[in-house]
Chain A
C-alpha cells in the first residue's frame, strides 16, 4: 500500500528552528517533494530530494533517507509568515509523475 505520515500540527516561536518529519511507505520511489500552503492559497514548491542527504535552500533545508523511508523539512530563523501547512509528497512512478501527498503539517509560529 501507499502511506505517508506527517504530524498534524506543530507550534514554534519566532526566531526558533523547527523540524517537520515525514515517513513514507510507497510501492515505488522516484523522489520526495515538500510544498508550502498558506491558508486559502495554492501549494507552492519548496524542495525536492531524490538522493540521501541534506538539501539546503536559504532558511529551509530538506533531508532524505531512502533506506529508512524518512524525510524532514528544517525551518530556521522562523518568521510569522512561515505559519502555513507543509505538505510532504512522494513521486512513486517516473512514467506519470503522479504524486502521493501526506495530509500536511499545520505550523503555527507565535511571537
Chain B
C-alpha cells in the first residue's frame, strides 16, 4: 500500500550542484505534480504532468526541469542548485476523472542548499 513514494527524504547540496528527485506512484494516476513548501508561503506548484510524456509549468518553474517518461514516475531536476531552492518538496498524484479526485501526497524531500 505504498501510494506516492519520494526519494531521497533528505539531501544537502552545495550551490551549483545538480540533483534529481524521484517520485513514484502505484495508483495508476494520470496526473502528477511537484510542489515546494516554504514557511508562510504555503504549497506552490513547480511543474505538473497530465499524462505520460507530458509536462507543463506551474507557478514557480524557474531553475527546475521535469520528466515523465513512465506513467508511474515523475522526476524533478535541479540543474544548478541555489540557496533559494532550500525547501521541502512534495510530489502528488491524482486521477483525471474530474476535479473531485483529491491529490495524494508523498512524504516530502527536505532539501538544503549551502
Contact = CB atoms under 8 A, between A and B. Distances in A.
Interface string B76-114: 000000000000001000101011111111111000000
Contacts of A101: 42-44
B48 interface: yes
A28 to B, nearest CB: 10
A98 B45 contact: yes
Interface residues of B, number: 26
Contact of A41 (B41, B56, B94, B107): B107
Contacts of A30: 99
Contacts of A33: 102-103
B61 interface: no
A31 B99 contact: yes
Interface string B34-54: 000000111111001010000
Q: Identify the 6 closest CB pairs spanning chains A and B, nearest first.
A: A45-B102, A42-B105, A103-B42, A101-B43, A91-B99, A30-B99
Interface of B: 31, 33, 40-45, 48, 50, 56, 58, 90, 94, 96, 98-108
